[in-house]
């Protein structure tokens, strides 16, 4: 067989810098698997157990690297399984490309086995959604898909019928749409209009009690956020997705906002007269000041999202880092630091309260203690991923950002189970880095099988697996992963032996036994010394 169309796809992915594809093979994508086999030195294929996990891995990869994540699924059910992870990418604005198989063109529309119109099904989730009917569309549609995913910060989907996957790559050339020799992606202009920034500076100059709300779109702008905070003597409140914008021990932050946030952040929202929002689309508007009570400026990359959450006097479109850097010299430095000091005092009390909740003396060990120990022992550049559920509260409050640490969760979709696949995806991107999945027993059970796939090169799930609570499992009470030794405690307190994620779910013992059969190591983690041993410290 000569050069096939699937090779043109894989080669083009490689030209765009794609080095990893997450997925599961199937008859519907045999041709694409052949393309991957022929170009395995350029693009590696990471086999997963569930397509949803492949999409989460691609999303985690994109979140941590800023590069497009790619997942692959067979026709019909394989493609359907991708969807939840793809919606996670869509809602958290991550560039992800999904490639799926499709029945061969000669049977399309005949109700053939596994015939699901995946292009129609993906129409809502994907910014770019295209069936490939002719190899001559390649590599243009790959370029368009990737370019659109980056430009619109979302999902692109290509579905490829079996016969096209293995068709002669060079047949039927359509010279007039011949693509450029190399992929072209023109960056969106980052610099906001100077006049807009002058208006922001003027609004801030009038403020007496100013706060900055920084989100995921400012993760790359730590230095600039802190510089502006210092110039304005303004506390920085962080969204959960923007937790890593500034370190948690910075004197300029009051930590998170919302249900999982801090009291000082909540209180200051009632006090401020001016709010500067940077790189955030924070959804829980009831935790923001009442409309009309404060003057608001917002720096946002997407014009469609500038000024959408709260009445905003000065919406500015541009990149957070570039905008803040340009804004800084326009600011009138504030000499009155009393509001900031008041916030710092409140934060001092809050930190003590959080530390008390981490106490080793609490018996049985508290969830906060577990995260506290993880926090203490983890590397300064560790990446923490977590599931949705109560577990997110402890990650939010007891995992501290210091050094180059990062933190990722399914922010806006709030789906169960992304913690471990995110970690595995991120571990593939950064093989040498410590990546910790902090997962609930419910979420863990959903995609537990992926733990096996995370073994190599993955320290990813290692820590999660190491904190399995073996002793309790043996006594018929226990759970699975890191969060497990937390979940079983809260259940145990209520005298229950079952996972809180559902009475119909497996008991912890069943879950643990299944985990063990899959080669996952268990550890009992009842006190700090045991936890340290379990974590290999
Ligand atoms: C169980 C659970 C509980 C949660 N509880 C909380 C909570 O209590 N508090 C909380 O804050 N969150 C919480 N979340 C997350 C919450 O649902 C939202 O996902 C989160 O608040 C959104 O944060 P964000 O606005 O920073 O991120 P996003 O919604 O991703 O918004 C980021 C914005 O930045 C923009 N942007 C991107 N790049 C740039 C750039 N270069 N320059 C400028 N702008 C840019 C984007 O266009 C986007 O509008 C919870 C999630 C879960 C799963
Ligand atoms: C796919 C999906 N199904 C259901 C939910 C609703 N839900 C949110 S948290 C949760 C329980 C999570 O349990 P677990 O993973 O053990 O975490 P915990 O809350 O115990 O920390 C459920 C059912 C959801 N967010 N996503």
Q: pLDDT tens for residues 360-415?
A: 887 777 888 889 988 998 999 999 999 998 999 999 999 999 999 999 999 999 99
CA atoms within 13 A on the CB side of 177: 13
Nearest Cα to Cα of residue 307 among 291, 329, 322: 291
172 falls in which pLDDT band (50, 70, 90)?
low
Can you give 211-251 as a three-state secondary structure string? EEEECHHHCCCHHHHHHHHHHHCCCEEECCCCCCCCCCCCC
Q: Give the mutation target among 282, 304, 387 for probing the ligand 1 site: most ligand atoms within 8 A of CB.
A: 282
pLDDT(430) > 50 = yes
518 Cα to the center of ligand 1, angstroms: 35
> Mean pLDDT across the stretch 126-145?
94
Q: Which atom of ligand 2 is nearest to the CA of 391?
A: 21
Within 10 Å of residue 207's Cβ, how many Cβ atoms?
20
Cα 491 to middle of ligand 1, angstroms: 31
Q: Which atom of ligand 1 is nearest to the CA of 319?
A: 42
440 pLDDT higher than 60: yes
Ligand 2 center from residue 370 Cα (angstroms): 20
Looking at residues 496-524, what average pLDDT do you find? 49
- What would the pLDDT profile of 209-251 be if each residue is shown by its tens digit? 999 999 999 999 999 999 999 999 999 999 999 999 999 999 9
Distances (CA, A) of 202 to 194, 330, 333: 12, 9, 12
Q: How far is CA 462 from CA 143, 229, 368, in A?
A: 37, 38, 20
- Per-residue pLDDT averaged across 84-101, rounded? 98
For residue 269, what pLDDT band results from cuts at 50, 70 and 90? very high
CA of 168 to the centre of ligand 1 (A): 45
Ligand 1 in reach of 303 Cβ (< 6 A): no
What is the structure's pLDDT at 457?
Answer: 33
Q: Is the pLDDT of residue 525 over 60?
A: no
Instruction: Choose which residue among 222, 254, 281, 401 to substitute to test ligand 1 binding: the one with the highest number of ligand atoms within 8 A of its C-beta.
Output: 281
pLDDT tens, 470-483? 233 333 332 233 33
Mean pLDDT of 252-257: 98
Give the chain's domains with CATH numbers. Answer: 5-165 (3.40.50.970), 194-347 (3.40.50.1220), 358-536 (3.40.50.970)
Q: Where residue 181 falls among pLDDT bands split at 50, 70, 90?
A: low
Using the atom order of ligand 2, give the atom closest to the CA of residue 441: 16
DSSP state of 168: B
Spatial distance between the Cα atoms of 252 and 235, rounded to a whole number of angstroms: 5
Dist. CA 396–CA 382, nearest whole Å = 15
- Phi and psi at 459, nearest 5°, equal -75, -5
| Residue nearest atom 19 of ligand 2, based on CA coordinates | 389
Three-state secondary structure along 252-281? Answer: CEEEECCCCCCHHHHHHHHHCCEEEEECCC
The residue whose CA is least distant from atom 20 of ligand 2 is 440
310 CA distance to ligand 2 middle (Å): 29
Comparison of pLDDT for 333 and 503, the residue scoring more: 333
**Can you tell me the mean pLDDT for 309-329?**
96
How much is the pLDDT for 182? 66
* Residue found by looking up tokens 């890191």 in the block: 482
Looking at residue 449, its pLDDT comes to 85
What is the percentage of the chain residues whose pLDDT exceeds 70?
A: 81
Tell me which residue has its CA closest to atom 50 in ligand 1: 411
In this prediction, residue 475 carries a pLDDT of 31
CB–CB of 5/169 below 8 Å?
yes
Secondary structure element (H or E) that encloses residue 428, with its range: helix 419-429
With a CB cutoff of 8 Å and minimum separation 6, the contacts of 430 are 64, 65, 383
| pLDDT (0 to 100) of residue 460 | 35
Q: What's residue 164's pLDDT?
A: 96
Residue 89: the pLDDT is 98
Residue 175 has pLDDT above 80, yes or no: no
Strand-strand pairing, 210-214 and 274-278:
parallel
Which residue carries 């249900």 as its tokens?
A: 259
Above pLDDT 90, what percent of the chain?
70
Task: Tell me, using a 6 A CB cutoff, whether residue 189 lines ligand 1.
Answer: no
Average pLDDT over all residues of the chain = 86
């Amino acid at each position: 067989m000569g050069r096939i169309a699937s090779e043109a796809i894989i080669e083009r992915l490689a030209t765009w810098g794609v080095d990893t594809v997450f997925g599961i093979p199937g008859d519907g994508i045999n041709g694409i698997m052949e393309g991957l086999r022929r170009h395995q030195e350029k693009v590696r294929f990471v086999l997963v157990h569930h397509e949803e996990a492949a999409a989460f891995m691609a999303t985690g990869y994109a979140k941590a690297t800023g590069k497009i994540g790619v997942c692959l699924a067979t026709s019909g059910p394989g493609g359907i399984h991708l969807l939840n992870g793809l919606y996670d990418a869509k809602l958290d604005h991550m560039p992800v490309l999904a490639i799926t198989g499709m029945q061969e063109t000669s049977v399309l529309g005949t109700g053939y086995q596994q015939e699901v119109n995946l292009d129609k099904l993906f129409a809502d989730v994907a910014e770019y959604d295209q069936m490939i009917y002719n190899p001559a569309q390649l590599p243009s549609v790959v370029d368009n898909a990737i370019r659109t995913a980056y430009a619109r910060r979302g999902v692109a989907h290509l579905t490829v019928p079996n016969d096209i996957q293995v068709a002669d790559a060079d047949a039927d050339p359509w010279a007039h749409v011949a693509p450029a020799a190399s992929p072209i992606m023109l960056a969106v202009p980052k610099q906001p209009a100077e006049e807009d920034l002058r208006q922001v500076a003027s609004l801030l100059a009038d403020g007496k009690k100013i706060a900055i709300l920084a989100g995921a779109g400012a993760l790359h702008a730590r230095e600039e956020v802190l510089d502006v905070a210092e110039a304005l003597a303004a506390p920085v409140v962080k969204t959960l997705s923007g937790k890593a914008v500034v370190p948690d021990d910075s004197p300029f932050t009051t930590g998170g906002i919302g249900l999982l946030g801090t009291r000082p952040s909540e209180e200051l929202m009632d006090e401020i007269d001016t709010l500067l929002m940077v790189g955030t689309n924070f959804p829980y508007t009831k935790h923001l000041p009442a409309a009309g009570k404060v003057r608001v400026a917002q720096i946002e990359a997407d014009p469609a999202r500038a000024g959408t959450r709260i009445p905003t006097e000065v919406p500015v479109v541009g990149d957070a880092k570039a905008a803040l850097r340009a804004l800084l010299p326009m600011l009138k430095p504030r000499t009155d630091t009393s509001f900031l000091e008041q916030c710092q005092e409140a934060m001092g009390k809050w930190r003590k309260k959080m530390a008390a909740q981490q106490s080793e003396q609490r018996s049985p060990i508290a969830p906060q203690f577990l995260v506290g120990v993880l926090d203490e022992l983890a590397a300064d550049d560790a990446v923490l991923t977590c599931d949705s559920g109560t577990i997110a509260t402890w990650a939010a409050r007891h995992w501290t950002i210091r050094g180059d640490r990062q933190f990722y969760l399914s922010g806006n979709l709030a789906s169960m189970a992304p913690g471990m696949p995110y970690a595995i995806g991120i571990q593939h991107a950064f093989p040498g880095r410590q990546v910790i999945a902090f997962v609930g027993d419910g979420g863990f059970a959903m995609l537990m099988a992926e733990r096996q796939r995370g073994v190599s090169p993955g320290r990813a799930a290692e820590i999660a697996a190491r904190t399995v609570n073996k002793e309790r499992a043996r006594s018929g009470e226990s759970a699975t992963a890191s969060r497990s030794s937390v979940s079983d405690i809260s259940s145990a307190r209520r005298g229950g032996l079952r996972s809180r994620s559902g009475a119909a779910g497996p008991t912890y013992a069943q879950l643990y036994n299944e985990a063990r059969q899959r080669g996952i190591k268990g550890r009992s983690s009842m006190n700090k010394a045991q936890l340290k041993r379990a974590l290999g410290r």
